[in-house]
Amino acid sequence: MANIITRHIPNTITCCNLISGCVAIMAAIYGDLKLAMLFIVVGAVFDFFDGMAARLLHVSSPIGKELDSLADVITFGLAPSVMLFQELSILEYPFGSIYRWQFSGVVPYVAFLMAAFSALRLAKFNVDERQATSFIGLPTPANALFWGSLLLGLDRQMQALNWAPMALICLMLLSCWLLVAELPMFALKFKQWGWKGNEIKYIFVLSCIPLLIIFKVLAFAIIIAWYVVLSTYVNATKKQ
């Protein structure tokens, strides 16, 4: 009996991630970006602990891996896409009043490209043996946290700018590319806790603390952008 319960603990945690994503989507549909962001963060916590639980309990399975990806598509692919869709639906567009309603009725659906690229990113991750200790391309949880933080933290500022929709779409296309790009990115996985060999990881973690204190909810977007920049710098120095 104990073995049966133990075997299902990681998958139960993964399902909690999926449910968190569903709540985030419904919150975004009703325009509650704060609640949507909260449940994306909750989903990210569950996503962190399901893998840890599977390793600690030695109950990893192919089903668990697939279930994890399916949950991630909902929480870190569809949920931020719905948040972006809602934001693009209420923003003013820099066009004449005659055509504005046509753009506001069609353009927001572009946001779901991010859900498609998130699914592609997760599919690639499942079959890519190079990503055991690091990532190639932006991880979907990082992308979701970026968008949740950006949309929530700059909501009022974006509503005051008529060029905000175009800026968001360009940024969304960039994030779609980052999800599937052949760009190595470090993972916060420590084989040993010493400074040597973990310099970049410690620098990143320590730099996140003042950012969280200063920028609060917007800090997540800044941290993810910093993560991409730092990963790019590490790759450039390795090539040299």
Contact (Cβ atoms closer than 8 angstroms) between residue 24 and residue 43: yes
pLDDT for residue 80: 98
pLDDT digits (tens, 9 = 90+) for 66-110: 999 999 999 999 999 999 999 998 888 776 555 555 666 788 999
pLDDT for residue 234: 85
Average pLDDT over residues 183-202: 81
Average pLDDT in the chain: 89
pLDDT for residue 86: 94
Q: 193 or 138: whose pLDDT is higher?
A: 138
**What's the pTM?**
0.91
136 strand-pairing partners: 184
pLDDT at position 2 over 50: no
Dist. CA 203–CA 229, nearest whole Å: 13
Dist. CA 123–CA 75, nearest whole Å: 15
Q: Both ends of the chain: CA-CA distance in Å?
A: 56
Contact (Cβ atoms closer than 8 angstroms) between residue 112 and residue 81: yes
pLDDT at position 58 over 90: no
Q: Residue 136 in 3-state DSSP?
A: strand
Q: What percent of the chain has pLDDT over 70?
A: 91
Q: Residue 79 in 3-state DSSP?
A: helix
